[in-house]
A and B are shown apart, each in its own frame.
Chain A
Amino acid sequence: MNVAPRIRARTLARVHVPTVTLAHGGGGRAMKDLIDDVFVRAFDNAALDPLEDQARLDLCNLAGYGDRLAFTTDSFVVDPLIFPGGDIGKLAVCGTVNDLAVGGARPLYLSCAAIVEEGVTIDLLRQIAGSMAEAAAGAGVEIVTGDTKVVHKGACDKLFLTTTGLGVIREGVNLGAHLAREGDVVLVNGLLGDHGAAILSARGDMALATPIESDCAPLNGLIDALLAAAPGVRCLRDATRGGLATVLNEIAGASQVAIEIEERATPIREEVKAFCEILGLDPLYLANEGKIVVIAPPEEAEAALAAMRAHPFGARAAIVGRVHPGESGRVTMRTVFGGRRMVDMLVGEQLPRIC
């Protein structure tokens, strides 16, 4: 990646009104000012600066990192926009970075498309763009192209972001949900359910004050360390919407294997447990934004665990289960109580029970 210092050829424009209006989506000067002031200023890189209709990326440079491109996209509509532990901007960068990284790719470039509801303040946009820039720097990626649309009040909820990511997969790395085998070990890199619980409680309609923060984090560094220590890892998945339970079901289905996890070994913060207990939710289905599920061959399980624990985003990593010879596609859990139950895919949204 080209990180050499450079001198920008032009001065960036400024927006002098406090809120976004439809004029900022009109394609004229107001829009140009908004893009300059908010996005170009924050993202600040050579590929974005010329503001062509596309970013131009050097092929030889890409080929230096590996032999295949990884390409992914994700939209972010989180409510509230700012929550304990992050905001929609950090989420939009980390989410796409992680989608690339769990494929064994080195994340390099991102796009950012913003759909803004009229009436949103410019300061809020600046804050979100700043947070995207910070997250991108933390993950070692650049946001090199983008788009901005402004819509009528009510046509979207304040701000929606879409990020698309490009990365390069190292030679010889082949990870896949279909590669789990009997005897493999299931690991996670830390405490589960923080993001889901933080968002639910930040929405405020539960009237529950919790100290829980989102775990939103870029995991490419942790995954680099993991794959270096345990090159035989079969599969990585980030446990976002649907949580651990959903990812394990996807892996069990794709690999035609059974997976059993131990409730006792599954790391969940006491506050999240209590939060779920009160609301009748199951933490296994709560979303994470900084957690991966790792399927490792048994002989590399300890190395994988140690590598993750040595990384700041993996301090609470744990072995949570195993791939079993049982009926294929099935995920079960040995409960703390000594019983055994199925862990199925979630149907729709988790609805809190009434009594």
Chain B
Amino acid sequence: MKYLDEFRDSAKARILVREIEGLVASMDIPDDRPLNIMEVCGGHTHSIFRYGVEGMLPKQIELVHGPGCPVCVLPMGRVDDCVAIAEQKHVVFTTFGDAMRVPGSRKSLMQAKADGADVRMVYSPMDALGLARANPTREVVFFGLGFETTMPSTALTILQAESDGVTNFSVFCNHITIVPTIKAILDSPDLRLDGFLGPGHVSMVIGTAPYEFIARFYRKPMVIAGFEPLDILQSIWMVVRQIKEGRVEIENQYARVVPEGGNAPALRAVARVYELREFFEWRGLGSIDHSGVKLRAEYSRFDAERKFAIPNVPIADPKSCQCGEVLKGAIKPWQCKVFGSACTPETPLGALMVSSEGACAAYYQYGGVRHHEAAE
């Protein structure tokens, strides 16, 4: 495929791997303390496993799989709220596919569907708005989920609904924002990270400036990375080079997609429709200040949280689940007590086992066993 195969070229990959090996060889990195580089975004995690990138790197580099999978960090209580809305008789509940299996305390949306709720998978919030137009006697609710990547499309759909005068459409807003979360990780006392691969698609919307504090105050290098395996290898090389040269900068490897200033119309729509929540609950990470958004009062008629009675009961993560430690890079997925035993993709206990972008599911599906055994 044009514009994809070029970024999956194994000959170029070998050259980059040799470059990375050369860099780390000149850096005197102790065996028991490899460079820990976190890829923030779940899309990166998926690509790393899909193409076997991790196995190509020298052992002095460890990849730590970060919190950037919006499905994974969704707390159980919010899934319960989704189910409660979906189970109301007149509701058509629409969601992106990978949220279907996320376990709630009672059931997932997939189980709710099996029990008779009208839950439908959509590819875009505009499809949900289309359903609302086609079903004027039903209340169509869209499960707004994701980071800044998907936030603008939900916002634009609400603006469209407003201008079309659609009244039976609303959004259950669970959009979250990445920067406070990176900050929370950087503030955690057991932090062992030496650098970051920055999220590509989020940055396409917000630009590169919001990350400056990571370099300035926390003195960690970040390279905003694309999602093809060569993008990832090149970005790792760029992070290692910064460390070797003693530089701490926010660099942009994904310049073909990410403009420095972000996407202005998208940001305008976001600013118009949402405001920051005081705090938002993350699965595995707990409550993080200003890490989520909700609809502004002017758009309350499109806000499912106001339109429907929702339980809004926070549910603690299962005690045995160590997703939080995995998310912060304190342990590897296979070091979790329940990985592969009580927690599998079929019966996920922790959020990271749910989505193919979750670190645990990716290890389990694409290579976990090898690491798991190596650890034993």
A155 contacts B by Cβ under 8 Å: no
B101 touches A351 (CB 8 A): yes
Least CB separation from B41: chain A residue: A355
User: How many Å lie between the Cα of A54 and that of B272 in the bound state?
Assistant: 71
Q: Choose among A207, A337, A341 the residue that contacts B13 (Cβ–Cβ < 8 A).
A: A337
A171 contacts B by Cβ under 8 Å: no
B1 touches A335 (CB 8 A): no
Hey, what's the 0/1 contact readout for B132-151 against A, CB within 8 Å counting as 1?
00000000000001110110
B366 touches A341 (CB 8 A): yes
Hey, what's the 0/1 contact readout for A332-355 against B, CB within 8 Å counting as 1?
000111111110100110011111
* Residues of B in contact, count (CB < 8 Å): 52
B263 CB to closest chain A CB, in angstroms? 15
For A339, list chain B residues within 8 Å (CB).
Answer: 51-56, 229
Q: A336 and B365 in contact (CB under 8 A), knowing A341-B52, A351-B97, A351-B98?
A: no
Q: A337 and B71 in contact (CB under 8 A), knowing A206-B123, A352-B98, A353-B355?
A: no
B146 touches A274 (CB 8 A): no
B207 contacts A by Cβ under 8 Å: no
A355 touches B8 (CB 8 A): no
For A354, list chain B residues within 8 Å (CB).
Answer: 70-71, 96-99, 145-146, 150
A273 contacts B by Cβ under 8 Å: yes
A348 touches B70 (CB 8 A): no
A248 CB to closest chain B CB, in angstroms? 14
Q: A337 and B123 in contact (CB under 8 A), knowing A354-B97, A354-B150?
A: no
B345 touches A355 (CB 8 A): no
For B8, list chain A residues within 8 Å (CB).
Answer: 336-337
B357 touches A353 (CB 8 A): yes
B167 contacts A by Cβ under 8 Å: no
Classify chain A's interface size.
Answer: 20 to 34
Least CB separation from A352: chain B residue: B97
A299 contacts B by Cβ under 8 Å: no
A353 touches B356 (CB 8 A): yes
User: How many Å lie between the Cα of A277 and that of B1 in the bound state?
Assistant: 10
A341 touches B98 (CB 8 A): no
B247 contacts A by Cβ under 8 Å: no
A270 contacts B by Cβ under 8 Å: yes
Hey, what's the 0/1 contact readout for B355-376 against A, CB within 8 Å counting as 1?
1110000001111111000000
Hey, what's the 0/1 contact readout for B306-334 against A, CB within 8 Å counting as 1?
00000000000000000000000000000
Hey, what's the 0/1 contact readout for B268-282 against A, CB within 8 Å counting as 1?
000000000000000
User: How many Å lie between the Cα of A337 and that of B4 in the bound state?
Assistant: 12
Among B74-112, those with CB < 8 Å from A are 96-101
A340 touches B123 (CB 8 A): no
B43 touches A355 (CB 8 A): yes
A205 CB to closest chain B CB, in angstroms? 8
For A330, list chain B residues within 8 Å (CB).
Answer: 369
B1 touches A337 (CB 8 A): no
Q: Choose among A274, A342, A347, A351 the residue that contacts B369 (Cβ–Cβ < 8 A).
A: A342
User: How many Å lie between the Cα of A280 and that of B42 in the bound state?
Assistant: 13
User: How many Å lie between the Cα of A354 and that of B70 in the bound state?
Assistant: 9
B201 contacts A by Cβ under 8 Å: yes
Q: A342 and B53 in contact (CB under 8 A), knowing A336-B10, A337-B13, A355-B150?
A: no
B52 touches A277 (CB 8 A): no
A340 touches B46 (CB 8 A): no
A341 touches B71 (CB 8 A): no
B53 touches A337 (CB 8 A): yes
B201 touches A347 (CB 8 A): no
For B296, list chain A residues within 8 Å (CB).
Answer: none
Least CB separation from B353: chain A residue: A347
B14 contacts A by Cβ under 8 Å: yes
B337 contacts A by Cβ under 8 Å: no
B49 contacts A by Cβ under 8 Å: yes
A341 touches B96 (CB 8 A): no
For A338, list chain B residues within 8 Å (CB).
Answer: 10, 13-14, 52, 56
Q: Choose among B42, B71, B366 the residue that contacts A342 (Cβ–Cβ < 8 A).
A: B366
B50 contacts A by Cβ under 8 Å: yes
B115 contacts A by Cβ under 8 Å: no
A340 touches B55 (CB 8 A): yes
Q: Choose among B1, B49, B230 the residue that contacts A274 (Cβ–Cβ < 8 A).
A: B1
User: How many Å lie between the Cα of A349 and that of B54 in the bound state?
Assistant: 27
A271 CB to closest chain B CB, in angstroms? 10
For B96, list chain A residues within 8 Å (CB).
Answer: 352, 354
User: How many Å lie between the Cα of A352 and that of B71 in the bound state?
Assistant: 12
Among A189-207, those with CB < 8 Å from B are 205-207
For B99, list chain A residues within 8 Å (CB).
Answer: 354
Hey, what's the 0/1 contact readout for A313-333 against B, CB within 8 Å counting as 1?
000000000000000001000
Hey, what's the 0/1 contact readout for B2-14 against A, CB within 8 Å counting as 1?
0011001110011
Q: Choose among A336, A337, A342, A351 the residue that contacts B100 (Cβ–Cβ < 8 A).
A: A351
User: How many Å lie between the Cα of A233 and that of B344 in the bound state?
Assistant: 36
B4 touches A277 (CB 8 A): yes
For B43, list chain A residues within 8 Å (CB).
Answer: 353, 355
B346 contacts A by Cβ under 8 Å: yes
Q: A336-B5, A353-B46 are in contact. List 11 more A-B contacts (CB 8 A).
A: A274-B1, A277-B4, A341-B366, A342-B368, A348-B345, A351-B97, A351-B100, A351-B356, A353-B98, A354-B98, A355-B150
List 15 A-B pairs, Cβ < 8 Å: A205-B121, A270-B1, A274-B1, A335-B50, A337-B8, A337-B53, A338-B10, A338-B13, A341-B50, A341-B51, A341-B366, A342-B365, A342-B370, A353-B355, A354-B70
The 5 closest A-B pairs by CB, nearest first: A339-B52, A338-B10, A354-B96, A351-B97, A347-B345
